[in-house]
Amino acid sequence: MSGLRKVLVLVLLLTALLPTTAPVASQGGRGAIIEANPRGVEGLGSLNPLRCNRAACRRVTDFLFPWLLGVDPETKTFDGSGLTRSWETGADGVITFALREDLAWSDGTPITAYDVFYSYLSLASREIRSPYSGRVAAAITGAAPLDEHTIAFIYVDGVGCAALDYTQFPIIPAHVFEPEFAATAAAVFDGGDARADYTSWQEQQADRSFAWMRTHSFDQYPTVTAGVFQIDGIQPPDYVRLLTPDGDLGFAYVDLPENRTAVELFLQGETNLLADPPFARREDIRAADDVQVFEAPGRTWLAISLNLADPWLPQGAVDDDGNPLDQGMHPVFGDVRVRRALQLAMDVERQIEVVTQGNGTALATYNLPAFWGYDDDLLPVPFDPRAAEQLLESAGWKDTNRDGIRECRGCLYAQEGARLSFDLAVPDSTIYNVELLATQIAQQAEDVGFMVTINSVDRGVATNVVRRQVYDAYMIEFTDGYPVNPDATLSALFSPAEDVLGYGLNFGSYNSPALDDVLAQARDLPGCDFAARAALYRQAQTILQDDQPYIWLFAPNEMLVAQGAVTGFDPYPHAPFWNVAEWVVVR
């Protein structure tokens, strides 16, 4: 667990927690976990786990529904702790999953492969507006329930060792939506050839639609669940209440009273759990009595995407026939020495202090310390403005007229005499103060001779501009999945296949045969050994730091706080509730 900041502070002996918020009276002599919901019940979003796309509803649905695969909270790798107890990879692009046979929905109905199949079909339909549909459709071409507790997934060519990551999604009870679905599916799938049976299913069920799932009562009130808790009540605009298997109140997600904040409720003892409080209040929370504080780098990281190609003649990496195109070079960022100079000019620790009040972790590349494959030995590029100036001088960028802005004097790609300038596109954000960070970046770049123009734009507008590849630099805010899929992240951001004008994510037109080769090795590794794949992804991190397609900044830290009365509180990064069934609130 290196690289983490995990602090457990118990200042006083455990004392009774006496919440005053109305819906949190407990049953059975034990207290409940009580958390304020800043969005309110009416702002939760869908409680169908396949459709939930907000942190607020995810807080509830993660307590209520199983996922196909379990994840070890320490190593962040898949294990047999979820609905799947084991899996076997075939040589034909098919993985067969053996499901546990001892699990049931809250109404007593066994959880089977037909529930998994139904969940997959709803995602593959792209009709339910799910955040999982895109990745499922991109990697999986079909599925076949071989029997009640075995299901096979069929993958597109080239997915390889990353296949499991694309198959990780929550499972819903098919019988709630279609009581006869299991029987219908069993009549088609006889445990034979998965591809042939799925083709037969498609032919017989060509008119099947899932669009109506969006208006089903399950969307707002899922009465059949299978998690560590189950629904007790949802009362807009006051609370969501979840019960333990013993019928005690286990978790209450309470709406904020008018003119109150989540931090105030926590510090005054009216709640006993607080997630990601504002940066400005975190020191107050650390100083509070009888609290347990957990902190680690969050899943969202910040960087600056640099356009390496000619922004005046934007085009993708290949033409319609797959032939490579000459994309030209960006007059400033086409030279790796200039890119590295800009990184050296960044005082990231100062940015963290100013923007997050010290609540951030500097990046060496895209990867974060909690994820498997992280290279502990690869440190962030240090702040060294003198080295930045020397690199710029050697790259032919000199301040000959002493006005503080360098000009091209023998540089590689700009016109002679052109200024060392770039526009920084800054989209809006709900996580941090973008204007403040942009100002810090501009000042630090200008200190070594750049001229920076900050363009604050709506996120939608910014996305359109960068995907058309007519930009210089773009402040990117990227959130990794859980567990992180390094192949998906790296392929999406840095593969030539994603350098497509108008919609690709490699809008900076970075092209590295060395990185492509490493990713291919990690994807196609025989046996898919995690340790061997991790070693390859560490090579990828070194390549990305050396080539500098991004200016790597930092990841804002996540914070989870519990009152001292919550026993069993032992979060891992990005898996804070892995043992929530063992938490007990001492009354």
Check residue 333 and report its DSSP letter. Answer: T
Q: Which residues contact 282 (CB under 8 A, 6 or more apart)?
A: 357, 359, 559
- Residue 17 Ramachandran class (φ > 0 left, ψ -120 to 50 alpha, else beta): beta
Please tell me the distance from the alpha carbon of residue 228 to that of residue 242, in angstroms, as a whole number.
9
Q: Is the pLDDT of residue 15 over 50?
A: no
* Residues sharing a CB contact under 8 Å with residue 1, sequence separation 6 or more, in sequence order: 74, 370, 572
- pLDDT at residue 30, rounded to an integer: 67
Supply φ then ψ for residue 371, to 5 degrees. Answer: -95, 145
Burial 412-438 (b: 16+ CB within 10 A, else e): bbbeeebbbbbbbbbbeeeebebeebb
Q: What is the pLDDT of residue 6?
A: 32
For the chain, state the CA radius of gyration.
26
pLDDT at 21 over 80: no
Fill in the DSSP letter of residue 67.
B
Give the tens place of pLDDT for each residue, 467-491: 999 999 999 999 988 888 899 899 9
Beta bridge pairs of residue 291: 563
More confident residue, 463 or 510: 510
User: Dihedral through CA 50, CA 52, CA 58, CA 60, nearest 10?
Assistant: -90
On whether the CB atoms of residues 273 and 33 are closer than 8 A, the answer is: yes
Q: What is the DSSP letter of 210?
A: -
What's the average model confidence in pLDDT over 58-78? 94
pTM of the model: 0.91
Map out the domains of the chain with their CATH numbers: 22-64+218-297+559-585 (3.40.190.10), 70-217 (3.90.76.10), 300-484 (3.10.105.10)
Task: Tell me which residue of 355, 361, 335 sits closest to 443, measured CA to CA.
Answer: 355
DSSP state of 170: B
Q: What interhelical angle do 486-494 and 530-547 show, nearest 10?
A: 30
Is the pLDDT score of 26 beyond 50?
Answer: no
* For residues 20-45, average pLDDT: 70
Mean pLDDT of the chain: 92
208 — phi, psi (to 5°)? -65, 135
Q: What is the pLDDT of residues 186-219, one digit of tens each?
A: 999 988 899 999 999 999 999 999 999 999 999 9
pLDDT on residue 159: 85
Long-range contacts of the stretch 428-433 (C-beta < 8 A, 24+): 428/456, 428/458, 428/459, 429/459, 429/477, 431/300, 431/477, 431/556, 432/302, 432/355, 432/356, 432/556, 433/355
Contacts for 321 with CB less than 8 Å, ≥ 6 apart:
none
* Mean pLDDT (whole number) for 325-347: 98
Return the pLDDT at 90: 87
What is the pLDDT confidence band of residue 99, given thresholds at 50, 70 and 90? Answer: very high
